[in-house]
Amino acid sequence: MISDNIYFLKQIELFLNTLDTGFIDEHLSMDIEYSSPALSMAIINKNNVMQYLNEVIRIIKKYMWSNKILLNASIGYLPSMQMQPCIELIQMINNDRLRFIVLADSDGIFITEINIFKIPKTAEVIYCEQDIFFN
């Protein structure tokens, strides 16, 4: 299951770095659940999630060209998460640096859940430049 999540995290990382939903569209479960600090409650259902993400992308792209919003996503893990693979998402808005952790669950075929959490500036993230292999 960890190797499935690494594959799906790579697709999410590509999506976040390119803002192209094509990297995740075919991998999302029809009943996916998506949560983030920007939402008061989780979004459920692939169509609703894609509609939300497309609107967020539209807003981000509008401000990216003026350098008011910058994004960078990298696969890694937090030592405090017991080696669970994740994505660190750095979001710069008007020179204010925000850090988020993106976690994904899957059923082995589709991504069933995406959760985004804000993390403190002092949290340590260990990056993985190569594929992660677990015994």
For position 82, which CATH number holds? 3.10.450.50
Q: What is the pLDDT of residues 45-102, one digit of tens each?
A: 999 999 999 999 998 888 877 777 888 999 987 777 677 888 989 888 887 888 899 9
46 is a domain residue: yes
Give this prediction's pTM.
Answer: 0.84
Q: Residue 119: pLDDT band by 50, 70, 90 thresholds?
A: confident
Q: What is the pLDDT of residues 28-42, one digit of tens each?
A: 999 999 999 999 999
State the amino acid at position 92 in one-letter form: M
41 is a domain residue: yes
Q: What is the number of domains present in the chain?
A: 1
For 113, the domain range is 2-127
- For 70-82, letters b (16+ CB in 10 Å) and e give ebebbbbbbeeee
36 is a domain residue: yes
45 is a domain residue: yes
83: left (phi over 0), alpha (psi -120 to 50) or beta: left
132 is a domain residue: no
